Amino acid sequence: MPDDRCSDFPHPRWVYGALSGAVVLYVGGLLLAAGPPADVVVDAYEFAYPALELGNVNNDWGFFSPDPGPGDLPRYEVVDGDGRTHPFGWMEDLDRWDPAFFRYTTLFVNVMDDPEVYGDGAAAFLCREHADLEPRKIVFTVAHQRDRSPADVLAGRGILENMPVDKLYFRHCPQERE
């Protein structure tokens, strides 16, 4: 049998070929997932999407970019059987020093941004949590932080002052639907 080894490496050529293919696919996936939204990148991304998800390389790594602030604070209101509204701070009510703090903030932002996927589940949970209020529906709202420059802060304007609040969407409590 002919010796298939590269002259100064310990493995046959096909081994390096196969491993090189894996390397190119992985690095290509990383670049594709983080790449700019050019047509060629977007089309290739859509084609490769299942593989990117499976290999877990589907990330854009844009930490705090392109612009980091100001933030949005998800909130909600419980509407009870008498039509009274009970507002809750939600994100602002979290314990900042709880190790799961960022799990909850991430969850709340997702509930705010993606009602089709997360709205029903979050509403059902909140309806159970506030059963003592005999809730009829949950209204999801968001408070928008204002831009605060260093000069604003030195002038005593806090980052949570005068936040405009928008209503996003609502979900009826499950028993209400029935």
Partner 1 sequence: MSARAVAGLQTWIREWVRFWFEMPDTRALELVRVGLGLTLLVSYASLAGHVEAFYTEDGWLPLALTPALQEERTTLSMLFVFRSAAAAWALWGLTVLAAAAYALGWRTNVAKLVLLVGHYSFTRRAPAIAYGVDDLCSNLLFIQCFVPMGHALALDARRRAPLMLAPWRQTLRSMGLRLTQVQMAIIMAFAGLEKLRGEDWWDGLGVWFAMTDWEFNFVPLEPFAAHPYLLNLLGYGAVLFELAYPALIWHRRVRGLLLLLAIGLHVGVAVVMGLWLFSAAMLASHLAFAPPSWFRWLHVRAEGAPAPHPVNGSGSASNSSPSKVATQGQRAPGSTDSPRASAR
Binding to partner 1 in span 32-71, by CB under 8 A: 34, 50-51, 53-57, 59-71
Per-residue tokens: 85: 């509204």
Percent helix, percent strand, percent coil in the chain, to nearest 5: 45, 20, 35
Cβ proximity to partner 1, 80 vs 146, nearer residue: 146
3-class secondary-structure state, position 76: strand
Cβ proximity to partner 1, 36 vs 83, nearer residue: 36
Q: How far is the CB of 133 from partner 1 (least distance, A)?
A: 19
3-class secondary-structure state, position 5: strand
178/90 Cα distance (integer angstroms): 27
Contact between 11 and partner 1 (CB under 8 A)?
Answer: yes
Subset of residues 93 to 112 that bind partner 1, contact rule: CB under 8 A:
96, 99-107, 110-111
Residue 55 φ/ψ, nearest 5 degrees: -85, -5
Contact between 175 and partner 1 (CB under 8 A)?
Answer: no
Cβ atoms of 157 and 148 closer than 8 Å: yes
Amino acid at 55: G
Question: Residue 135: exposed, middle, or buried by beta-carbon count in 10 A (0-12, 13-18, 19+)?
Answer: buried
Q: How many residues bind partner 1 (CB under 8 A)?
A: 71
Q: How far is the CB of 80 from partner 1 (least distance, A)?
A: 21
Q: How far is the CB of 71 from partner 1 (least distance, A)?
A: 4
37/30 Cα distance (integer angstroms): 14
Q: How far is the CB of 82 from partner 1 (least distance, A)?
A: 26
User: Which of 4, 12, 20, 86 touches partner 1 by CB under 8 A?
Assistant: 20
x/- track of binding to partner 1 for residues 118-157 (CB under 8 A):
x-xxx-xx--x----------------x-xxxxx-xx---
| 140 C-beta neighbours (distance < 10 Å), count | 24
Cβ proximity to partner 1, 84 vs 113, nearer residue: 113
Contact between 9 and partner 1 (CB under 8 A)?
Answer: yes
